[in-house]
A and B are shown apart, each in its own frame.
Chain A
């Protein structure tokens, strides 16, 4: 009889049919990739960062390619919660995929108010707290850099919703374990990490920044080793599940995150590059699990062999 690994995962009570989740800001409002991506391979979609009111976002140019990475300063251009609920949720519900909503506020109260509104919206199965966007001038990363502020945001949202609350952390902290512990204590049901890394590029001919916002957030394979380290450290510090994010382009990248301690992963930039990344990554994970006789993905978590010297292999 063939060996069939179980790749379903459960995080904070949300049952994901696959461990692959579309990262906020990279999958629109869920329907844009219907023609070209295999949605059966997608366990969930985190929709774009949402404020109470619509936002214009940053001036263009907004993106630039860097070595193995993408620099962006979109600045959370979005439609506001009212239009999201009336215009976008009906179609999102039809997809049959878990929908998580990434929320952002200018104040702690705004995070709380958004959570209260979303609590009653059919089809929303979790809230990701954006306390880590580097491209907005209030809220965002300013809350995420300060562990106490991050905890206060988490606590307020926790009080206002029955939905699972998942703070998305920034890598720009002195000690990831400190902030991870504090948001866990404040009621976080899981953690997403990492968000993009504040970064910059300059056109040397014109001597101007490549982005109108001057600085942006770096994503893509360039940031993966940083994300792996942070997931690894955070996983040592907290009991809640971790969703790993950062430059995943296939099953081996995803496996690094699982071995570092993640329970699921989000894919962002690479779905721009390759819409088939979902199916290829899922198939790759299944094949890996068969070869290694891993019956369920959760068995990989924490199975990192860290007590021996790293063995040099082909590279």
Chain B
């Protein structure tokens, strides 16, 4: 069930000069969400901003009755949220949207994340770890500072590999180069991706060429998050129409997405 719940910011973990992990305490939102789902956060009135902003649930810390959001400062809304004072409360509407389906036991989860696109996968990997599944996690970024939460994935026992465009950490180049290497092995994979659109398109093409299932999490501007404003639509092949990212998404089968009609990245 969706709720609109007051959540209090109690900790800010700085991850890079322009990204942080915000930990919120709340009564029930942290318990009910599925990995891949998101919340619409109401920004403080002092920000002068009107609309809520969507953020993937990143993680849960049950011992603190808390959930975490990964926020990278890319605009006014993200800046206002990232710079919230500790102790500030915000309204969070959620949990919203579709979630990642874990793979069958005979398939290895293979996650490809670009920058802040890693956000929904920490909770997902925690779920996989509980199921005894070990994912391969490919992290990509421009520099090493963009490889968020790498330590957390390692501590969950995931097989983490990295790529940076400037070569400051891991493979020098694109994360999809690393993906190509991994896919050249014979293992049966189920792919998961989130990040910049050009990366998602490349991952989708590689998965399709090999006949691998691929779930993708898309980011869109959303007005309501509840399926009413139709501001966040994604064109899909099966019904040949725009569907709502907040309701039918944000997690889609990548083959469903009509990438050629996709105008993003934002």
Chain A residues near B (Cβ < 8 Å): 25-28, 32-33, 35-36, 54, 56-57, 59-65, 67-70, 72, 74, 77, 212, 220-221, 269, 271-276
Contact = CB atoms under 8 A, between A and B. Distances in A.
A63 B231 contact: yes
Contacts of B49: 65
Contacts of A77: 230, 233, 242
A66 B255 CA distance: 34
Interface stretch (B108-116, B131-139, B201-209, B220-228): B220-228
Contact of A35 (B2, B48, B51, B261): B2
29 contacts: A26-B229, A28-B228, A32-B227, A32-B228, A36-B4, A36-B226, A57-B230, A60-B233, A60-B234, A60-B263, A61-B263, A62-B221, A62-B232, A62-B233, A63-B51, A65-B77, A67-B48, A72-B223, A212-B263, A220-B50, A271-B224, A272-B51, A272-B52, A272-B223, A272-B229, A273-B50, A274-B42, A275-B4, A276-B4
B61 to A, nearest CB: 25
A35 B3 contact: yes
A67 B230 CA distance: 21
Contacts of B1: 35
Give the one of A56, A271, A275, A276 with max B CB within 10 A. A275
Nearest to B233: A60
A248 to B, nearest CB: 13
A57 B242 contact: yes
Interface of B: 1-4, 42, 48-52, 76-77, 91, 93, 220-234, 241-242, 261, 263-264, 266
A62 B261 contact: no
Given A60-B263, A63-B222, 7 more contacts: A36-B2, A54-B241, A67-B48, A77-B230, A221-B50, A272-B51, A272-B229
Majority DSSP secondary structure for residues of B touching A: loop
A276 B261 CA distance: 36
A68 B233 contact: no
Nearest to B94: A36
Majority DSSP secondary structure for residues of A touching B: loop
Contacts, number: 102
B85 to A, nearest CB: 21
Give the one of A54, A63, A72 with max B CB within 10 A. A63
A273 B227 contact: no
Given A35-B2, A65-B50, A220-B50, A56 B228 contact: no
Contacts of A61: 221, 263-264, 266
A251 B234 CA distance: 36
B233 A57 contact: yes
Contacts of B3: 35-36
Nearest to B4: A36
Contacts of B76: 65
A221 B227 CA distance: 22
Contacts of A272: 51-52, 223-226, 228-229
Contacts of A36: 2-4, 93, 226
A304 to B, nearest CB: 28
A138 to B, nearest CB: 20
A64 B228 contact: no
Nearest to A34: B2
Contacts of B52: 272-273
Give the one of A63, A74, A272 with max B CB within 10 A. A272
Nearest to B49: A65
Given A33-B226, A36-B93, A63 B50 contact: no
A70 B50 contact: yes
A33 B228 CA distance: 9
A56 B227 contact: no
B51 A26 contact: no
Given A32-B226, A36-B93, A272-B223, A68 B231 contact: no
A26 B51 CA distance: 13
Given A32-B227, A36-B2, A57-B233, A70 B51 contact: yes
Nearest to A54: B241
A28 B233 contact: no
A65 B51 CA distance: 7
Nearest to B91: A274
A60 B236 CA distance: 13
A63 B4 CA distance: 22
Given A36-B93, A272-B52, A273-B42, A63 B2 contact: no
Nearest to B43: A273
A179 B26 CA distance: 51
A56 B261 CA distance: 13
Contact of B261 (A25, A59, A65): A59
A68 B3 CA distance: 25
B109 to A, nearest CB: 30
A99 to B, nearest CB: 15
A272 to B, nearest CB: 4
Give the one of A27, A35, A273, A275 with max B CB within 10 A. A273
A27 B228 contact: yes
Contacts of A276: 4
